[in-house]
Amino acid sequence: MIPNNRGTAMTEWTILGAGALGCVMAGLLRGRGEPVSLLLSERHRGHLHPSLDLITLAGRHQLVHTRPLFAEQAGQIRRLLVLTKAYQVVPALQALRGLPNETPIILLHNGLGVAEQVLALYPQNPLIVGVSSHGAMKEGPWLVRHTGRGETWLGPANPAANAHAGLADALAGALGQIRWSPDIARLQHRKLAINAVINPLTACHRIRNGQLLEPRFNAVLAQLSEEVHQVMAALGEQEPLEDFRRRLHKVIELTATNYSSMHQDLAHGRPTEIDYITGYVLKHAGHLPVPVCRQLYNEVKKLGG
């Protein structure tokens, strides 16, 4: 572990969401000597709080020690990183009744539509939203693997968040490439567009991302990417369709051996984030025809998502 040589007390990061990405983030922050607490659910109360076992990108096992925290201790939270699934964000935050008004809330989840609900719940708190391409996989209870170091972008969801742009620099030491963007909505739309193609297709066909480049998917990829692109264009996205398709193919190639999060959720009988990905596209489609999006949405729902 890299020691803290700053000579001053460091502000603790509190992580809400002890899934794969939350545990990896905890490990990366602790690896830089940052203090980290992990908000635990009621089912962990009364149990011994174990160390996390993080498998690094180099394949080494690293024991990660965090401070356990429960909802009634929300008054102690100074920086809150929310790394739950999209549908878990609001119920989890509702339990934090004592959260100080000045505590910045950072949302890092797939899909869109949650930030508006959080703003209604905590109108005074600085709200920061972001996108991240870090890869993480849970291999067992308190055993996680860091599968890929990506880039992370943060930006303001309300005016109060602008005073906390420095949090991007504070996280950069642990997470690597991380930047602040005043135009975070554009980056969120671009990530959502990729997810709205890859996730439902791989989930419905039970395949790895790279299999989408097989000839049998050529026609559906072409139509689905056009549907998603036209909805994003209606929301103000200016990226040409062919540029979007090139970016999509690059992501598929870079993640060829991966299973999408939606595929994994269906495979393990968990709810998916379909309402915040494809559902967001459908909600904003208006009169635009999006039959493939609608068909995939219905199929994922039928499969249990």
Number of residues assigned to the chain: 305
- Residues 260 and 209: beta-carbon distance below 8 Å: yes
Question: Is residue 207 left, alpha or beta, with left meaning phi > 0 and alpha meaning psi from -120 to 50?
Answer: beta
Which residue's structure tokens are 């602790």?
A: 30
- Residues 74 and 92: beta-carbon distance below 8 Å: no
The token duo for 135 is 């890869």
- Residues 211 and 239: beta-carbon distance below 8 Å: no
Which residue's structure tokens are 């949302």?
A: 107
Three-state secondary-structure class, residue 229: helix
Give residues with Cβ within 8 angstroms of 131, minimum separation 6: 108, 152, 153, 184, 187, 188, 191
Q: In the sheet that 178-180 helps form, which strands lie side by side, from edge to edge? A: 67-69, 36-39, 13-16, 80-82, 105-108, 127-132, 152-156, 178-180
Distances (CA, A) of 212 to 51, 92, 215, 250, 253: 38, 35, 8, 12, 9
Catalytic residue status for 191? yes
Q: In the sheet that 52-55 helps form, which strands lie side by side, from edge to edge? A: 61-64, 52-55, 143-148, 135-140
- SS3 string of 88-123? HHHHHHHCCCCCCCCCCEEEECCCCCCHHHHHHHCC
Give me the catalytic one of 138, 191, 283, 301.
191
Q: Which residues are catalytic?
A: 191
